[in-house]
Structure 1
Amino acid sequence: GEGNMMASAAMLRKIDGMVRVLNVDGSQRAKDSMAIVKEKFEQVLLEQFDDAKSHWDEDRGEASLAGMQKCASSLFSFNGGASCIQRYVSSLPFCIDASVIMRDDEGVMESTKPDIAKTEIERVLTEVSDLFELEKSSTQLIFPSCSGRVLGHVVQRALNQRIQKTIDGCLERLEDSCGSGAWSDLMQYAYGRLHRMLNNLASSETDLEDLDLGKLLDDVLGDYRIRFITHSFDTLSSLLATFLPPPAPPDNHPSHPSFSIRTAHPDRPSPNLLLTSLERMAQIDKASEIATKCVEGLLVCTRSIPPGPLDGSPEVLKTFSLLISSLSTFLTKHMSDARNACGRGQEGVEERSASELKVAVHAVMVTQRFAEEIVTPVTSHDVQLAQECTTLIWDFSVTVERQSGELLRALVLAVGRYLSSLLSSTQHKTDFVPKSDDCALEPSQACVAGCDYVSSVSKAWSNEGPP
């Protein structure tokens, strides 16, 4: 009966406590014998618990439920209940049902396209959520005083055994069939979907004792952090290789037409190599636009990295610092050249200048997003580096906005000069050259307000011909 079980458990605990402090001849033999007795007693209780649960699974009878409760109470009193929880969780269908395991394996094998892989991950996460809701009522009946602790183990076992296996398998299959871009997209989807599921579990009425949901998320997806970092550098390398001719191979590399940044550095392109490549871009048309695309491409990759300490974060921040420095040089140079061209009245410069303004505004927005979404979350990892990177970003923003404002003013003056000359032979003798006060907008406001205006005027000029 329950009374005998509880009494036996209490007696064994007392005897065990006495044996532990023995320090006389033969005490080790007593300790060894006590360990055997405890193990056998625990095994008897677990077998009785299993027997009661098997009957309860069939009939949901009160007698079966009472049997489980008695055994569970005795085991929790005897050794904290760890073995009882483990035995209960191991008996759940997703742990022992071969059809569930086979269905998951088949779903992974079929995940050769992004939509199929997302559907498979969604199916498994939905089934785990449904299992949680089903087991919530059962555990509250069987373990009324510690149902949250048991449910926490159910969630952890499902994450470690079923969810992680499915996500790993789908990612591997998709990368083999569709490449690293599809892998990155699926990883982002899986992380977001799993994060929502865990938040829903955490907000449920049941208190999941001893369960750190954030740590669980890290355990499942944390191994992908460095792969995200590597993928970010690979993406940037591919972007550069798209716009640049292949660099000359080093002495230790044979000349080959397919030589590129990636083949020269298969593991990861170094920041110095990236900076050198970006410097070469300064000689190419639309260099500022290309550099902006590189920054945005790397931002898209790195913003998908799961939050938390990132071993590779200093490397990412340093690389972004190089990119931002290069981007600042490109944009200010191009806008300065465009401003001078406006002053000289060169033909066709207005359309190009308007394009430079749009690129500048876009670059400022991208780098500021990076500061908010990437730099700030990793300040705890490397505060000094993050502060340096943040300062660099804001300095860059101010510089580009100032240059943009000056370029916009030059364009407005050019428009005024053109309109004045256009109307000089008519009865309208108005001077359209604005005074300096007319350009007193803040640089950032001038950028946004003037881009569409200048672009529309430039298109009109191109349709009607230059003055």
Structure 2
Amino acid sequence: MAECAKILSQFNRGTSAMQHYVATRPMFIDVEIMNTDIQVVLGDDGPQADSSSIAEGLSILYKEIADTVRKEATTIMAVFPSPNEVMSILVQRVLEQRVTAILDKLLIRPSLASLPPVEEGGLLHYLRVLSVAYDKTEELAKELQSIGCGDLDIEGLTESIYVSHKDEYTEFEHASLRQLYQSKMAELRAEAKQQSESTGSIGRAKGASLNTSPQQLISVTVVTEFVRWNEEAISRCTLLFSQPTTVAANVRSIFACLLDQVSQYLTVGLDGARESLNEAAAMRDRYVIGTSVSRRVAAAAASAVCLLFCSLIYF
């Protein structure tokens, strides 16, 4: 085989022979191998697999690919007069064909016009899968480079695989943060409604809002959840982009989303607290029920102001 490779290298610098050798590798032509790739990544959960399971599946599959390339490298080094050129063709084919085929099935961009339900992961699921896929593909690229890839620009090739996803990343990240916020506010409204409906008939007659404290309207725990979303988004941003100017611009826009969410949340909460205080004062005047309500009104006002002050200090 080595002798044949030497003879063929005299024709067209052996390019045809090298390309033919790479093209006939089982990993590129075995239908069973290609069909099982996505099953290895998704596991038994299929399309509903979470990002952690997908990360584990990609690690397993990419290790198998790296091991296969390592074995092929041994043969190539022993057979071809220009092994680096063959390795360059092989690694390029691995990334452009096998890896891209996996990612095309894995990274299906949702429609921003019709967002996937939060109950099914929402936009956040796509962003998390994009993040782990990019991270694992970078690890594979580094491993392939250590095995040998000639003069192939493997870093540039890896980036090109994700260029379409990265071009729209910021828009998807912002849409995801908005979706999470809207879902959380809907959850809080549902809880408030349920609590209001669960109050007794006396409470309803005298104003159910008296039973809703400002702590329920404005919660540091909820604001902390906003911050956690923001931190996760920024971690994705710094993973996907390396240019300082791009990272800075994306981080700034993500942080602006956080400030907007906190502002909206505090405004809604304080408006609700103000309405509760107004209703409490009206009840006092209407029913003349004494100083106990006055104390509750004063305490509610103090709590609202305190929570606002604490929220501002938090940021």
- TM interval, shorter chain, is 0.5 to 0.7
Report the structure number with the largest CA radius of gyration: 1
Match of 2:125 in 1: 182
* Structure 2 counterparts to residues 34-183 of structure 1, below 5 A: 64-72=1-9, 74-75=10-11, 79-104=12-37, 107=40, 111-112=46-47, 113-114=49-50, 117-144=54-81, 146-172=82-108, 178-183=121-126
Q: Distance in 2 between matches of 1:320 and 1:190?
A: 21
Q: Distance in 1 between matches of 2:98 and 2:173?
A: 28
Question: What residue identity is the alignment partner of 1:304?
Answer: R
Match of 1:237 in 2: 178
Show structure 1 runs of 5+ residues with no match: 1-63, 246-283, 334-345, 364-467
Aligned pair in 2 of structure 1 residues 239, 179: CA closer, same or farther (>3 Å)?
closer
Show structure 2 runs of 5+ residues with no match: 111-115, 187-215, 268-297
Match of 1:396 in 2: none
Q: Distance in 1 between matches of 2:143 and 2:309?
A: 46
Aligned pair in 2 of structure 1 residues 150, 358: CA closer, same or farther (>3 Å)?
farther
Question: What residue identity is the alignment partner of 2:17?
Answer: C
Q: Distance in 2 between matches of 1:355 and 1:138?
A: 69
Aligned pair in 2 of structure 1 residues 162, 69: CA closer, same or farther (>3 Å)?
same
TM-score, length of structure 1 as denominator length: 0.43
Residues 37-62 of structure 1 show CA distances to partners (whole Å, capped at 9, x for unaligned) of xxxxxxxxxxxxxxxxxxxxxxxxxx
Q: Distance in 2 between matches of 1:173 and 1:238?
A: 16
Deviation, 1:242, is: 3.3
The answer as to whether partners of 1:117 and 1:170 remain within 8 angstroms in 2 is no
Q: Distance in 1 between matches of 2:56 and 2:254?
A: 35
* Structure 2 counterparts to residues 244-393 of structure 1, below 5 A: 244=185, 285-286=217-218, 290=222, 293-305=225-237, 306-308=240-242, 316=250, 319-320=253-254, 322-323=256-257, 360=313, 363=315
Aligned pair in 2 of structure 1 residues 122, 143: CA closer, same or farther (>3 Å)?
same
The answer as to whether partners of 1:235 and 1:298 remain within 8 angstroms in 2 is no
Match of 1:192 in 2: 135
TM-score, length of structure 2 as denominator length: 0.60
RMSD of the alignment, in Å? 4.4
The answer as to whether partners of 1:94 and 1:101 remain within 8 angstroms in 2 is yes
Q: Distance in 2 between matches of 1:232 and 1:185?
A: 10
Given the alignment, which residue of 142, 145, 151 partners 1:210? 151
Aligned pair in 2 of structure 1 residues 149, 286: CA closer, same or farther (>3 Å)?
farther
Relative contact order (alpha carbons < 8 A, sep ≥ 6): 1 or 2 greater?
2
SS of alignment partner, residue 107 of structure 2: helix
The answer as to whether partners of 2:107 and 2:126 remain within 8 angstroms in 1 is yes
Question: What residue identity is the alignment partner of 1:125?
Answer: Y
Deviation, 1:228, is: 2.8
Aligned pair in 2 of structure 1 residues 104, 240: CA closer, same or farther (>3 Å)?
closer
Question: What residue identity is the alignment partner of 1:209?
Answer: G
Deviation, 1:160, is: 1.3
The answer as to whether partners of 1:292 and 1:327 remain within 8 angstroms in 2 is no
SS of alignment partner, residue 211 of structure 1: coil
SS of alignment partner, residue 203 of structure 1: helix
Residues 416-454 of structure 1 show CA distances to partners (whole Å, capped at 9, x for unaligned) of xxxxxxxxxxxxxxxxxxxxxxxxxxxxxxxxxxxxxxx
Residues 310-351 of structure 1 show CA distances to partners (whole Å, capped at 9, x for unaligned) of 999797456346447658989xx9xxxxxxxxxxxx869699
Question: What residue identity is the alignment partner of 2:23?
Answer: S
Question: What residue identity is the alignment partner of 2:155?
Answer: G
Question: What residue identity is the alignment partner of 1:319?
Answer: S
Aligned pair in 2 of structure 1 residues 159, 351: CA closer, same or farther (>3 Å)?
same
Aligned length: 244
Deviation, 1:181, is: 2.7
